[in-house]
Amino acid sequence: MNRLLSVFLAFVLVFALGTALAEDKSVTIGVTNTMTSINPLALDNTEVPKYACSLTFLPLLELDSSLNFVPQLAKSITTEDNLTFTITLQDDAVWSDGTPITAEDVEFTLVLGADPASFNISLAMYMIEGTDDNGMVEPGTEHISGIKVVDDKTLTVTTKWETALYTFDNNFGRYLLPVPKHVLKDIPREELLSLTWFLKPDVISGPYFITEADLNHYVHYTANENYFLGVPKIKYLNIQVYSAAQILAGLQSGEIDLVQQTMASIPIEDYDAVRALSNITAVSGTPVTNETIYINTANVPDVRIRRALLLGMDRASMFDALLGGNGELVDGFLVSSSPYFSDALGLTGYDPEQAAKLIAEAAADGAKTTYTWYTNSSESTWGQAVEYFAAMFEEIGLHIEIRTVDLDTLMEIAGNCEHDIMSVEYTFAPVDPYTDVVWLLGGEGSWTGYITDAVSEALVLSQTLSDNGAIAEQYLIVDRAMQEDVPMISGWVRSSLGAVSNRLSGVTPDVFGTFVDVQNWDIQ
């Protein structure tokens, strides 16, 4: 009996210990950019805050790794005419306090995004019928004519012009993160963008509550046990900010469990060392991370100078030397994985003699030959390339002053159009170039300040077509304008390296889809 009792007590102890360990499972996600906000009403277009916030407030849809839109809050989004879109929410979608998530919550969030007091420039509200040219409504507006609540789980959104379903899905499906109307409806709208409640919200739709946040360093989460898509198997998640140089050591020590390709930049010189780690599986992402150079055409008005920038950069040499061929070179916005990419565009080669000739001609006509180029301090490999390019330009008569700043400062400078030249990694969704391109080529006030009738017409027409080949023809017009007028240059497209701890199951880091089923992640 004593022996049996000892075995029984040992079993109870092991079972209890196992239960405690299961309840205390924790995963750390390493990122290399700070978070501008985790308020879903104040998000910008960068990936770290988008995913950090989506863990708490779900989007309507998300892309999986195969570039399919999959349900999150929404069961489906459909359209019959590319003008009116029907959003149907999941039947069992509820807030963490048990209140059903309804069409009124989605309407409420859309209206907040269009109200001047809580306006979110990152959502293209200007597309919605009933908003002005800037996507705004009168202060205090409760309803927008283009948004109709049909029933508790259904609403329709009507756009001002024909909009492709893929554009609507990407722009509103992925980036609209509905907030709870029953919690926030009485908060003055001018207080919402800075509301501290979002740093530790007690009513959420996603799999994880935020428990503590220091946006320069970390966000800590704990599981939402009432998550309608399933209770997360891992109790604690942490998003931790590191310098790029710290990622390898963090993976090696086990301090970092996951590196997702668009949230962290593993230095290219560390790729081989990461791949060699026995406790880690390294995953090369599809080349979509575009190191894009934006030229403020208002500050660099002479097209000859802009063409000289394109011709005077030996991109191929830098790509091979610094990236070791991990990615691809393209001209324009589209990467080869996009269904709308065209080989007909070709690639502009390095031609320093022609570049020098254009600079001399422009200078003779009074054009400036000194310009400021802002870069992101966390992109060290690209920073080396910019220094090399600047030295090459110096030899052909163009002086470049490089200013390296953090991402928040860079976004502020670009948003205020204070740059001559600015470069930043930008992940264009291959399935929806329109949303980003139409914003970046938005004329005055955009990062480039560039638009032409031909480009505008091509972008509009791309929204009315369904055949991929026909759509590709319109984007070819846009990319050829990039070659000829040069408001932007693709420096290179990086195949970013992701990594996941071998103790973590249910997740493969990829450019898209990493967090779609985060509730199913587990620790072995």
Q: What is the mean pLDDT of residues 374-395?
A: 94
Q: Are 206 and 55 in contact (CB under 8 A)?
A: yes
Q: How confident is the model at residue 188 (pLDDT cuts 50, 70, 90)?
A: very high
In which band, very low, low, confident or very high, does the pLDDT at 293 lie, cut at 50, 70 and 90? very high
* Strands 26-31 and 236-241, sheet pairing: parallel
- Mean pLDDT, residues 11-30: 62
Tokens representing 329 are 């070179």
Q: For residue 111, give the CATH number of its domain.
A: 3.90.76.10
Residue in 282, 300, 346, 290 with CA at minimum distance from that of residue 498: 282
pLDDT at 20 (0 to 100): 38
pLDDT at 428: 80
Taking Cα atoms as reference points, which of 259, 248, 358 lies closest to residue 312?
358
Same domain, 306 and 269: no
CB 105 within 8 A of CB 181: yes
User: Quick check: is 37 in a domain?
Assistant: no
Range 289-312 average pLDDT: 97
218 and 348 housed in the same domain: no
* Contacts of residue 161, Cβ cutoff 8 Å, sequence gap at least 6: 83, 127, 460, 463
Q: Are residues 139 and 173 in the same domain?
A: yes
Count of domains forming the chain: 3
Q: Are residues 144 and 249 in the same domain?
A: no
Residue 361 and residue 316 share a domain: yes
CATH code (residue 467): 3.10.105.10
35-39, 98-102, 144-148, 199-203: the lowest-pLDDT one = 35-39
What is the model's pLDDT at position 2?
A: 55
pTM over 0.85: no
Is the same domain home to 426 and 489?
yes
Residues with Cβ within 8 Å of 121's Cβ and at least 6 positions away in sequence, in order, are 135
Residues 368 and 481 in one domain: yes
- The answer to whether residues 279 and 293 belong to one domain is no
Together in a domain, 271 and 392? no
The answer to whether residue 430 sits within a structural domain is yes
**C-alpha–C-alpha distance, residues 408 and 413, integer Å:** 9
Distances (CA, A) of 124 to 87, 184, 316, 412, 513: 17, 22, 35, 19, 23
Q: What percent of the chain has pLDDT over 70?
A: 96
Residue 519: Cβ within 10 Å count? 21
Q: What is the dihedral of CA 503, 501, 223, 77, to 10 degrees?
A: -120
Instruction: Please check whether residues 281 and 430 belong to one and the same domain.
Output: no
Q: What is the CATH number of the domain that holds 505?
A: 3.40.190.10
The answer on 485 and 417 residing in a single domain is yes
* Residue-range definition of the domain harbouring residue 435: 289-494
Which has the minimum average pLDDT: 9-23, 41-55, 420-434, 508-522? 9-23
Percent of the chain at pLDDT exceeding 90? 81
Asked if residue 17 is part of any domain, the answer here is no
Q: Is residue 461 part of a domain?
A: yes
Question: Do the domain assignments include residue 10?
Answer: no
Average pLDDT over residues 113-120: 94
